[in-house]
Amino acid sequence: MILVKPSFQILAIMEPQPFASPLELIELAGRTCYKSEEMISNDSSKKFVKGIMKRGHESVIEHSAMTVKFICDRGVTHELVRHRLCSFSQESQRYVGYKFGCTFVIPPWVDLVPGEYFFNYDPNQEWNIEQWQWFRAMIFAENTYKCLIEKWTPQQARSVLPNSTKTEIVVTANFREWKHIFNLRCSKAAHPQMREIMIPLLKECQKQIPVIFDNITYEE
C-alpha cells in the first residue's frame, strides 16, 4: 500500500500566438468592445485588465484558460466535478485495475509520512488511535480489493474502495471559472482537503498570472 499527499501540476496556461501572455489576448478582446485597439502597446495589457476587473467586467477574462492536473482523493474530485463550466478527464476505476496494490491519499488531519506501507507495519509508534484506525481501514480495503480483483473486473471490485483512494484528474476552465473555484474552495468553509490543494494552486496562479487572481483572499 502506498500513501501519498495531494499535488497539482499546471499543464497549460492559454497563450495563443501571437500573444506573449494571456493578458494580451484578454486586452485585445476587451478593447474590441470599445474599438480602442490602437491603444495597445507592449506594456498596456496589465493596466487594461486591472481596469476592467475593477469595473466588474469579468466576462472578458473568459477568453483565456488554464489546465491543471490534480492528484488527490476521490472525495475531492466528487466536489470538483460539480463545477459545470470545466472540462474534466479523470482516471477511471472501471478500466484501471490495482491488483498490485492501491494508493491512498493521506488526509491533512492524519499525520502520516508518505511512502510504502505493509500490513505488518509496526503500529507501536507515536500514533493516536484515530490514525491507526484510518491506516487499518486502508489496509483492509486494499486487501479486500486485491482478493476480489482476482475474480471480478475492475468496475466490480471498485465498489469496496474508499474515498481516500488516489485518483488523477485533468481540469480545464477559463480564468473566470477558476476565480469562482478559488473563491469557493479556498474559503474557510471549504472542505479541508479541498483547501489543502487549492490554496497552493491559487498562490502559484498569483505568481504566474498577474492581476487576474490578485484580489482573492483566504484564511490560513
pLDDT of residue 190: 97
Q: Does 163 share its domain with 82?
A: yes
Q: Residue 40: which pLDDT band, with cuts at 50, 70 and 90?
A: very high
pLDDT of residue 138: 96
Catalytic residue positions, numbered:
185
Whether 22 contacts 12, CB under 8 Å: no
Q: Does 113 share its domain with 152?
A: yes
Q: Residue 105: which pLDDT band, with cuts at 50, 70 and 90?
A: very high
Q: Residue 11: which pLDDT band, with cuts at 50, 70 and 90?
A: very high
**Cα 6 to Cα 108: distance, rounded to the nearest angstrom:** 10
Q: 164, 171, 172, 165: which is closest to 93 by C-alpha?
A: 165
pLDDT of residue 18: 79
Let me know if residue 127 belongs to a domain: yes
Range of the domain at 48: 12-67+175-208
Residues pairing with 103 in the sheet: 2
Q: Residue 15: which pLDDT band, with cuts at 50, 70 and 90?
A: confident
How many structural domains compose the chain? 2
Choose between 130 and 167: higher pLDDT: 167
Let me know if residue 214 belongs to a domain: no
Q: Does 110 share its domain with 75?
A: yes
Q: Residue 71: which pLDDT band, with cuts at 50, 70 and 90?
A: very high
Q: Does 61 share its domain with 75?
A: no
> Would you state the torsion angle of the CA atoms of residues 150, 152, 155, 156, taken in this order, to the nearest 10 degrees?
-120
**Cα 211 to Cα 115: distance, rounded to the nearest angstrom:** 38
pLDDT tens sequence across 149-166: 999 999 999 999 999 999
Mean pLDDT calculated for residue range 52-77: 95
Q: Residue 119: which pLDDT band, with cuts at 50, 70 and 90?
A: low
Whether 65 contacts 171, CB under 8 Å: no
Whether 143 contacts 99, CB under 8 Å: no
Grid cell at residue 110: 492524519
Q: Indicate if the alpha-carbon torsion angle 69, 179, 15, 208 is positive or negative.
A: negative
Choose between 132 and 168: higher pLDDT: 168
**Cα 139 to Cα 23: distance, rounded to the nearest angstrom:** 48
